[in-house]
A and B are shown apart, each in its own frame.
Chain A
Amino acid sequence: MTLQSTKFSVPSEKWKYKSKRSERTRSAVIFIASIFLLIYVLAPVGWLLSSSFQSEAEIVSVPPHWLPHEPTMENFNAIFFQEFEEVTYETRRKVDPAAGGYIPSTAKDLLPSMWNSFIISVAVVILNLVVGVPAAYAMAKIRFWGRQASVYTILTTRVIPDIALVVPFFLVIKNLGLLDHVMSLIITYLAITVPFTVFILVSYFESLPDELDKAARVDGCSRLQTLIQVFLPLARPSLVAVMLFAFLTSWNEFLLALMFTQTIASQTLPIIVASFTSDFTISFSFINAAGVVAIIPPVILALFFERYIVSGLTAGAVKG
């Protein structure tokens, strides 16, 4: 028994070597797998970026050119530097190679649509916090009749598929006189995002001890003060998660934007990008350039808040 114990407590040199080797092998396998995963995930993005600098002829070359042989800024020039002028027979953009282009005439709408998307997304994020945070705090920390039912009712609204809501939403928006206005999207996106915001925040607030709430109240804080001064600083990861969710949902939403908007006064980025694919002549390289421009804001946001995202989404998930 003593001998065996000694054997276990002092590993042999051979065992140490084997253990180290197996650890190195394991690390190498993980590293190689990570590289493959990285390539798998980043290759489409790489191609998106590369092809946006290629001409339409080069983009369909076989084999494909991962590095453009003749890089061109034509697509980005059309997006950023196309002049706004009155469209007449003389000034119309012909989809004619001889006239210099297969780039859609609506290329100039990309930036205004991006601005619309940005305004809508930011407004939805702010209103989500204004509505969602107090609602979640109340549901998590204030005991009132029908509390549980309220949580479930809010969640139930998300069970209804968006397509089933299109016509009712359309009638409401039309009667409000908000068709073709960004407000129509802000209002409807709130209906989509607030339930999720409340759900995530309720889970998070419930994971925080009730004693914090009681202590703040004993110290003289009002409910609002307790929420703002005690709970919000602790809920930062969850707040970031719901902000990102609300922003990205609004940024990418297509169906409702398609129904409620019809001019560049309110059309959002997904609608304009989709319109590039429905002209008689379609440029993949231009669509990819539009894609590059479109992913910049979400990517910046994701990078900026990266460390909060996972912790925010899983917060409260393992609460006992």
Chain B
Amino acid sequence: MAKYVSKLARREFLKVSAAVGALGSSGLINRAFAAGDTVNFMAWSAAVDLVKSHVAEFEKSIGIDVDYANAPWSNYRDNIITKFVGAAPLDMMWVSDAWLPEFADAGWIAPINKFDNLMKYNDEAEDFCNDSMTYKGMQYGLTYYTDFMAFLYDEDALKKAGIDAPPATWDEVTEQCLKIKSAGISEYPLMLALANESWLMNFLAAMVYSHGGRFTDEKGNAAMQSPTEGAVAALQWVVDAVHKHKIVSPACVETGELTGLKAFQSGNHAFALEPKYRMRPINDPKQSQIAGRCKQVLMPSSNGGAHNTVGWMRFHGMSSATAANQAHAERTAKLIEWFGGRANGAYKFQKYLFTDIGAGFGVKPLFNDKDVQASYNSYADVEMIKAQQALALKSDVVTPWYGEWQETNASSWQAAIVGKVSPQDAMTKAGDKWDNLKQEFS
């Protein structure tokens, strides 16, 4: 009897297992990614409602279905690479300019040059944006948004310290920080967020470009180690700020951009390097202790630098698998145009992205839009923004080996900042790594 019960139980177990297995492979619970005529659109989880509303309007106006999905920015790149490698249905996606060489060389994304309805927008886009989307002579998308690293200050902190005008050079930054520090207004007047995260390169590039330096020369060889034209002066300034003047916290190497933003919003610092779009939440009384007091000034200069800063952009790209299917590619190109170009005759997405959130746009006609001008002037000075944007430079380290090099570069900067190596040695190490990688990849 026991044997019978035992066998029965085993049979029942097998039956249940088989049923579960069959259910798993059946269409009842099989919800694969949308395929066929539907355009699969992948983005990072930003401005989600705006994207949804713009997609809904596209479906209504153009009559093409869109399957929109998103993933957190911090893991977006890994996510999308897995989908490329796994050949998951993916037609249009947001791409960072920093990934372009890697994605293009891997054959994951396709040029859009053959789509006249997309290329016609180049005349109205900032040259910097078009350049950032171009790799080996081919253009890979239309702009989603663009921004630059800005130098911000707390107007009240300067007034309390008896400072009449914000700094124009890095030497003046040092002087004013020391004055603010000695007045007891802030222990570390300048906030630098130099934790090893995705933002780090933008902070470093802003420091280097404004010091008149470059990471690479025109031929793409390492220039960062040059004592006069490279990154050494910028790094030396940071090292002095931390150790000699004590105006930047030694914890800057562990401070991420978001943490730094919140620290600046709390009134802990008088100056900060922040992406320009952060001005909006910093001047929002619901989110910030220094609302209304945050102003922007041109990035301080030094060593012949011309108040340059670094600019970056993100774009709407098309997968190579999609480009291979003409009909589907055309459907996808329509969606790219809807987001990156004009939608029903207007740059609606870029405008709403800006008026809703403060994210910068890469299409020049929007500067003439009255809503845009009013929005900018409600928390910033539109003329200052235009002036600084004109001085923004494209990153000079966007290459297929960027990720690998940045590991060495980031640790070199951090080692110098914590005092383990000299700035010159740190930049020499980063430069050597760059040249080695360049040789390997070529």
Nearest B residue to A130, CB-CB: B13
Q: Which residues of B contact A271 (CB under 8 A)?
A: 71-72
Q: Which residues of B contact A166 (CB under 8 A)?
A: 82
Interface residues on B, range: 35 or more
With beta carbons under 8 angstroms apart, the residue of B10, B31, B85 that contacts A167 is: B85
Contacts of A101-131 to chain B: CB distance below 8 A: 102, 104-106, 130
Q: How far is the CB of B45 from chain A (nearest CB, A)?
A: 4
Q: Which residues of A contact B45 (CB under 8 A)?
A: 106, 275, 278-279
Task: Give Cα A183–Cα B291 distance, bound, in whole angstroms.
Answer: 47
Q: How far is the CB of B84 from chain A (nearest CB, A)?
A: 10
Contacts of B16-57 to chain A: CB distance below 8 A: 24-25, 29-33, 42, 44-50, 52-54, 56-57
Q: Are B267 and A62 in contact (CB under 8 A)?
A: yes
With beta carbons under 8 angstroms apart, the residue of B49, B88, B284, B357 that contacts A179 is: B88
Q: Are B30 and A181 in contact (CB under 8 A)?
A: yes
Q: Which residues of A contact B32 (CB under 8 A)?
A: 174, 177-180
Q: Kindly specify which of B1-9, B109-117, B215-223 makes contact with the partner chain.
A: B1-9
Task: Give Cα A271–Cα B289 distance, bound, in whole angstroms.
Answer: 30
Contacts of A221-246 to chain B: CB distance below 8 A: 221-225
Q: How far is the CB of B429 from chain A (nearest CB, A)?
A: 28
Q: Are B53 and A57 in contact (CB under 8 A)?
A: no
> Given A62-B268, A87-B53, A274-B72 in contact, is the A262-B33 Cβ separation under 8 Å?
yes
Task: Give Cα A225–Cα B7 distance, bound, in whole angstroms.
Answer: 11
Task: Give Cα A9–Cα B33 distance, bound, in whole angstroms.
Answer: 82
Task: Give Cα A95–Cα B47 distance, bound, in whole angstroms.
Answer: 8
Nearest B residue to A86, CB-CB: B56
> Given A57-B289, A278-B72, A284-B262 in contact, is the A258-B52 Cβ separation under 8 Å?
no
Question: Does A170 make an interface contact (CB < 8 A)?
Answer: yes
Question: Does B250 make an interface contact (CB < 8 A)?
Answer: no
Nearest B residue to A87, CB-CB: B52
Most buried by B among A92, A258, A271: A92
Q: Are B6 and A167 in contact (CB under 8 A)?
A: no
Task: Give Cα A104–Cα B72 distance, bound, in whole angstroms.
Answer: 13
Q: Are B52 and A92 in contact (CB under 8 A)?
A: yes
Task: Give Cα A179–Cα B42 distance, bound, in whole angstroms.
Answer: 14
Q: Are B2 and A220 in contact (CB under 8 A)?
A: yes
Nearest B residue to A174, CB-CB: B86
Question: Does B69 make an interface contact (CB < 8 A)?
Answer: yes
Q: Which residues of A contact B30 (CB under 8 A)?
A: 176-178, 181
Q: Which residues of B contact A62 (CB under 8 A)?
A: 266-268, 289
Q: Which residues of B contact A171 (CB under 8 A)?
A: 86
Q: Which residues of A contact B87 (CB under 8 A)?
A: 174
Question: Does A263 make an interface contact (CB < 8 A)?
Answer: yes
Q: Which residues of A contact B76 (CB under 8 A)?
A: 278
Nearest B residue to A222, CB-CB: B6
Q: How far is the CB of B425 from chain A (nearest CB, A)?
A: 33
Q: Are A277 and B266 in contact (CB under 8 A)?
A: no
Q: How far is the CB of B201 from chain A (nearest CB, A)?
A: 18
Q: Which residues of B contact A263 (CB under 8 A)?
A: 69
Task: Give Cα A280–Cα B6 distance, bound, in whole angstroms.
Answer: 60
Q: Are A102 and B6 in contact (CB under 8 A)?
A: no
Q: Are B86 and A277 in contact (CB under 8 A)?
A: no
Q: How far is the CB of B195 from chain A (nearest CB, A)?
A: 14
Q: Which residues of A contact B289 (CB under 8 A)?
A: 57, 60-62
Task: Give Cα A318–Cα B152 distance, bound, in whole angstroms.
Answer: 61
With beta carbons under 8 angstroms apart, the residue of A97, A130, A224 that contacts B10 is: A224
Question: Does A281 make an interface contact (CB < 8 A)?
Answer: yes
Most buried by B among A97, A167, A258: A97
Most buried by A among B50, B57, B355: B50
Q: Are A222 and B82 in contact (CB under 8 A)?
A: no
Q: Which residues of B contact A178 (CB under 8 A)?
A: 24, 29-32
Q: Which residues of B contact A93 (CB under 8 A)?
A: 49
Question: Does A67 make an interface contact (CB < 8 A)?
Answer: no
With beta carbons under 8 angstroms apart, the residue of B3, B71, B355 that contacts A275 is: B71
Nearest A residue to B275, CB-CB: A280
Task: Give Cα A86–Cα B60 distance, bound, in whole angstroms.
Answer: 13
Question: Does B75 make an interface contact (CB < 8 A)?
Answer: yes
Q: Are B2 and A97 in contact (CB under 8 A)?
A: no
> Given A57-B285, A183-B24 in contact, is the A262-B72 Cβ separation under 8 Å?
no
> Given A62-B266, A105-B48, A262-B70 in contact, is the A89-B33 Cβ separation under 8 Å?
no
With beta carbons under 8 angstroms apart, the residue of B2, B83, B262, B280 that contacts A60 is: B262
Q: Are A280 and B5 in contact (CB under 8 A)?
A: no
Q: Which residues of B contact A223 (CB under 8 A)?
A: 6
Question: Does B122 make an interface contact (CB < 8 A)?
Answer: no
Task: Give Cα A92–Cα B52 distance, bound, in whole angstroms.
Answer: 8
With beta carbons under 8 angstroms apart, the residue of A57, A174, A220, A262 that contacts B42 is: A262
Question: Does A283 make an interface contact (CB < 8 A)?
Answer: yes
Task: Give Cα A57–Cα B49 distance, bound, in whole angstroms.
Answer: 24
Question: Does B288 make an interface contact (CB < 8 A)?
Answer: yes
Q: Which residues of B contact A254 (CB under 8 A)?
A: 75
Digit string of B255-284 for contact with A (CB within 8 Å is 1, else 0)?
000100010011110000000010011001
Q: Which residues of A contact B70 (CB under 8 A)?
A: 262, 275
Q: Are B277 and A57 in contact (CB under 8 A)?
A: no
Q: Which residues of A contact B29 (CB under 8 A)?
A: 178, 181, 183
Question: Does B228 make an interface contact (CB < 8 A)?
Answer: no
Contacts of A40-79 to chain B: CB distance below 8 A: 55-57, 60-62
Q: Are A57 and B287 in contact (CB under 8 A)?
A: yes
Question: Does B404 make an interface contact (CB < 8 A)?
Answer: no
Q: Are B73 and A56 in contact (CB under 8 A)?
A: no
With beta carbons under 8 angstroms apart, the residue of B9, B53, B281 that contacts A92 is: B53
Nearest A residue to B50, CB-CB: A92
Task: Give Cα A255–Cα B78 distance, bound, in whole angstroms.
Answer: 10
Q: How far is the CB of A286 from chain B (nearest CB, A)?
A: 11
Q: How far is the CB of B23 from chain A (nearest CB, A)?
A: 9
Q: Are A258 and B75 in contact (CB under 8 A)?
A: yes
Q: A92-B49, A105-B52 are in contact. List 20 more A-B contacts (CB 8 A).
A: A61-B289, A62-B268, A86-B56, A89-B54, A94-B355, A95-B47, A97-B287, A104-B48, A106-B45, A170-B85, A170-B86, A177-B32, A179-B32, A183-B29, A258-B78, A259-B78, A265-B31, A274-B75, A278-B45, A279-B45
Q: Which 6 A-B pairs have the closest CB atoms?
A: A222-B6, A262-B69, A278-B73, A275-B45, A105-B49, A60-B266
What are 9 A-B pairs at a CB distance below 8 A? Answer: A60-B266, A87-B56, A92-B49, A92-B356, A180-B32, A222-B2, A224-B5, A224-B9, A278-B45
